[in-house]
């Protein structure tokens, strides 16, 4: 009995972590280029609603995922346009993107609240009641495995490919990158849209698998957690994954605390990852002399003529 409960907790941890991780990984790519996008919450929401609407209307899961990813990427291009092309403040633009994304998706999804989903993202292997860790892992759906592939390929992309090196160069010193002949604007624009696409994928995971329905504001702050995760992970994919598992574990643990007979307040337990993230950030800043892993140019618009 206890085993099944424990496996349930593990399963819920993986599901919560997958969602957070995908969004955080996208934001990591965006931030690597020196663009801070605080609009993750809005982008997830847009991906979630468009994916859901497509799934209800077409019944095709593949198309739905694609629509969710691309509409969120398109949506994030608004942030890219305002901050990369027009050089406006990234903090402000990102916050507006959140408001716009949440309200637009609420408007779009109005007729879809409470609708049943005809399809669901399938699992690799269907196991009714997993009894050990391997079975739990195997019973995850395709997006979970996709997220692992994305993690490995992003880590590889950042360190080993031209695009990854370009991203890093642009994010660390955009002027030097520019004088080396890199197209800073193009790199930042692409990185922002890719980040948006990842958020969109997190969104479709939310509505097509994690909680298979649509309602207003159902992202419920997960986009902000994703932002915290990037910092927690020191802008490194694998460490971000560890952070996602920690945050996911706490999200899964909180509703179960009472059944385990703990007297701890679930509300205070929920706060601990944020406190941990702040502490990690402070400790990293002190011990590494400000080298937290944050791209040096983050939040600063690149402006060629200011050389």
Partner 1 sequence: MNKYLLSKKIVVNELSTFYSFVIGLTIGIGIGSIILLAQGQNPVDVFSLMLRLSIGSVKSISSSLNKATPLILAGLGISIINSVKLWNIGAEGQIFMGGIALNFIYISTEVTNPNFSILLLLLASFVGGAVCILFPAISKVLFGVNEIITTLLFNYIVIGLTVYLVNGPWKDPNSLNFPAAAYVGKEVYLPTVFGRLSYGFIICFLCTLGVHYLKEKSVFGYELRISGGSALTAIYAGINAKQKAFVAMLIGGGLAGLAGGVELLSQTHRVSTGLSQGFGYTAIIVAAITGMRPFGIFLVGSLFGALTIGGSVIQTMGVSSYIADVIQATTLFGALIAQFFFTYKITKVTEDV
The site for partner 1 (CB under 8 A) is made up of: 36, 38, 78, 82, 86-89, 91-93, 95-100, 102-104, 106-107, 110, 216, 221, 224, 227-228, 231, 265, 267-268, 270-271, 274-275, 277-278, 281-282, 285-286, 290, 292, 294, 299, 303-306
| Choice between 93 and 154, CB closer to partner 1 | 93
**Which of 118, 290 has the CB closer to partner 1?**
290
User: From the CB of 185, what's the least distance to partner 1, in Å?
Assistant: 10
Name the token pair of 285.
């800043």
**Which whole-number Å values give the CA distances from 136 to 127, 131, 145, 163, 207, in the listed order?**
8, 7, 13, 35, 21
Least distance from C-beta 201 to partner 1, angstroms? 23
Minimum CB separation from partner 1 for residue 292, in Å? Answer: 8
Residue nearer to partner 1 on the CB measure, 38 or 150:
38
Tell me how many helices (H) and strands (E) the chain has.
12, 0
DSSP percent split of the chain into helix, strand, coil, nearest 5? 70, 0, 25
Whole-angstrom Cα distance, residue 199 to residue 201?
5
CB of 281 to partner 1, least distance (A): 6
DSSP 262-299: --S-HHHHHHHHHHHHHHHHHHHHHHTTT-SS--TTTT
The residue (of 124 and 279) whose beta carbon lies closer to partner 1 is 279
Q: Which of 101, 106, 53, 47 is nearest to 73 (CA)?
A: 47
Q: Min. distance of Cβ 247 from partner 1 in angstroms?
A: 11
Q: Minimal distance in Å, beta carbon 66 to partner 1?
A: 24
- Measured from the CB atom, is 43 or 65 closer to partner 1? 43
- Please provide residue 291's backbone torsions phi and psi, each rounded to the nearest 5 degrees: -90, 80
Taken in order 124, 15, 246, 36, is the CA torsion positive or negative?
positive
Taking the least distance from each CB to partner 1, the nearer of 146 and 269 is 269
End-to-end alpha carbon distance in the chain:
67
């Amino acid at each position: 009995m206890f085993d099944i409960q424990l496996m349930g907790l593990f399963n819920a941890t993986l599901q919560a972590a997958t969602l957070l991780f995908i969004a955080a990984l996208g934001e990591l790519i965006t931030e690597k280029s020196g663009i801070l996008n605080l609009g993750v919450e809005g982008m997830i929401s847009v991906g979630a609603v468009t994916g859901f609407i497509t799934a209800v209307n077409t019944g095709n899961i593949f198309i739905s995922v694609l629509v969710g990813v691309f509409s969120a990427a398109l949506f994030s291009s608004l942030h890219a346009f305002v901050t990369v092309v027009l050089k406006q403040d990234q903090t402000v633009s990102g916050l507006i993107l959140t408001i716009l994304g949440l309200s637009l998706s609420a408007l779009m999804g109005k007729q879809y609240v409470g609708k049943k989903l005809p399809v669901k993202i399938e699992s690799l292997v269907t196991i009714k009641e997993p009894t050990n860790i391997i079975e739990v892992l195997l019973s995850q759906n395709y997006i979970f495995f996709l997220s692992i592939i994305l993690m490995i390929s992003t880590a590889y992309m950042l360190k080993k490919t031209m695009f990854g090196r370009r991203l890093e160069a642009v994010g660390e010193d955009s002027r030097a990158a520019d004088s080396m002949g890199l197209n800073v604007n193009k790199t930042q624009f692409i990185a922002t849209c890719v980040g948006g696409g990842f958020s969109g994928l997190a969104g479709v995971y939310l509505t097509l698998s994690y909680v298979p329905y649509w309602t207003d504001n159902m992202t419920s702050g997960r986009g902000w957690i994703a932002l915290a995760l990037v910092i927690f992970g020191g802008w490194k994919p694998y460490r971000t994954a560890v952070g996602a598992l920690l945050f996911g574990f706490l999200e899964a643990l909180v509703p179960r605390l009472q059944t385990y007979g703990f007297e701890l307040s679930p509300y205070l337990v929920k706060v601990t990852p944020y406190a941990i993230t702040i502490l990690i950030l402070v400790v990293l800043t002190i011990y590494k002399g400000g080298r937290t892993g944050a791209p040096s140019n983050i939040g600063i618009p690149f402006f060629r003529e200011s050389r």
